[in-house]
């Protein structure tokens, strides 16, 4: 069964669609069966109003730059066709959905979720996986080793591409967590061990200097995250006799 997912991000003129703030950019990245396809969607949008000063500092999209771009009504059908029946992945989904619903309502369309299969919020997922940690997109990129060095201003397509990589890293292994309860070979080996059968000589491979250096670098990053000494650098407590 083909699994089609769309990672979506928007940029807006401000924080509140109820007070008239509008979408000015939409970026979407397609994932099919956990692979990036390159079939992405991107559009700048003329919001027919100025951006608030704080929002402009974040996205850098001026009123002049957006003045000749299509209005949302002109791209709405293309966007609906692109996302139709897919799972939509958004970081902090209520924010983007509020803006999309406001734009759809202006055109007399049903809410955004009515056009798609489901919406997955990666912020909710991240909080479950990393409770008590910072789970912004930047923090997650840092945590999963995804380079966002080229990101000076926010951009919807760039953020969607970064989020796609974060999502794939964060959910890696979910599809392969299987337990083979009836593996006959494993069962036979267990019987041998229980019966006291001789165990083959264990080969011990020493880590190379490069591997040890990578391990130390990983522990350094873990120390930084916990703001102290991570578990793997603490001495085991030996119980008193």
Lowest mean per-residue pLDDT among 59-73, 132-146, 217-231: 217-231
Q: Give backbone dihedrals phi and psi of 9, rounded to 5 degrees, phi first.
A: -145, 150
Q: Is 94 found in the same domain as 202? A: no
* H-assigned helices in the chain: 53-59, 63-66, 72-83, 93-106, 122-129, 137-143, 156-170, 184-194, 209-226
Q: Which domain holds residue 67?
A: 4-174
Structure tokens at 239: 């119980």
Q: Is 210 found in the same domain as 123? A: no
Mean pLDDT value of segment 209-221 = 75
Catalytic one among 59, 91, 130, 154?
A: 154
Does any domain span residue 66? Answer: yes
Residue 239's pLDDT band (cuts 50, 70, 90): low
Q: Is 204 found in the same domain as 170? A: no
pLDDT over 50 at 215, yes or no = yes
According to the per-residue pLDDT averaged within each range, which of 99-103, 146-150, 216-220, 232-236 is highest? Answer: 99-103
Q: Is 64 found in the same domain as 110? A: yes
Does any domain span residue 15? Answer: yes
pLDDT number for residue 235? 62
The contacts of residue 100 (CB under 8 Å, 6+ apart) are 10, 23, 112
Q: Is 146 found in the same domain as 227? A: no
Round to whole Å and give the CA distance between 215 and 46: 49
Q: Is 88 found in the same domain as 55? A: yes
Does any domain span residue 180? Answer: no
Percent helix, percent strand, percent coil in the chain, to nearest 5: 45, 15, 40
pLDDT number for residue 232? 64
Residue 56's pLDDT band (cuts 50, 70, 90): very high
Residue 178's pLDDT band (cuts 50, 70, 90): very low
Write the DSSP string, 177-213.
----TT-HHHHHHHHHHHTTPPPPPPP-PPPPHHHHH
- Give yes or no: 91 in active site: no
Share of the chain above pLDDT 90, in %: 67
pLDDT number for residue 177? 37
Structure tokens at 200: 């083959």
Domain boundary pick from 159, 174, 189: 174
What is the count of structural domains for the chain? 2
**Residue found under tokens 């692109």:** 82
Residue 174's pLDDT band (cuts 50, 70, 90): low
Q: Is 117 found in the same domain as 16? A: yes
Round to whole Å and give the CA distance between 83 and 41: 9
Residue 219's pLDDT band (cuts 50, 70, 90): confident
């Amino acid at each position: 069964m083909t699994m089609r997912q769309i990672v979506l991000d928007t940029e807006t003129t401000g924080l509140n669609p109820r007070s008239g703030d509008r979408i000015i950019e939409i970026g979407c990245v397609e994932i099919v069966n956990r692979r990036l396809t390159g079939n992405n969607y991107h559009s700048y949008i003329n919001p027919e109003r100025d951006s608030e000063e704080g929002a402009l500092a974040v996205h850098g999209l001026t009123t002049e730059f957006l003045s000749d771009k299509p209005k949302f009504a002109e791209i709405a059908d293309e966007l609906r066709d692109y996302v139709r029946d897919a799972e939509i992945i958004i970081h902090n989904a209520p924010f983007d959905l509020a803006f999309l619903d406001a734009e759809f309502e202006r055109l007399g369309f049903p809410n955004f979720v009515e056009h798609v299969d489901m919406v997955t919020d990666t912020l909710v997922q991240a909080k479950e996986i990393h409770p008590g940690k910072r789970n912004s997109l930047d923090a997650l990129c840092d945590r999963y080793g995804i380079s966002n060095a080229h990101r000076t201003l926010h951009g919807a397509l760039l953020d969607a591409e970064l989020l796609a990589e974060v999502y794939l890293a964060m959910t890696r292994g979910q599809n392969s967590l299987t337990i083979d309860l009836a593996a006959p070979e494993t069962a036979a080996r267990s019987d041998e061990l229980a019966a006291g059968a001789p165990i083959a000589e264990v080969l011990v491979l020493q880590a190379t200097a490069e591997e040890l250096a990578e391990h130390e670098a990983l522990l350094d990053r873990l120390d930084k995250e916990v703001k102290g000494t991570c578990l793997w650098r603490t001495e085991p407590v030996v119980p008193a006799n």
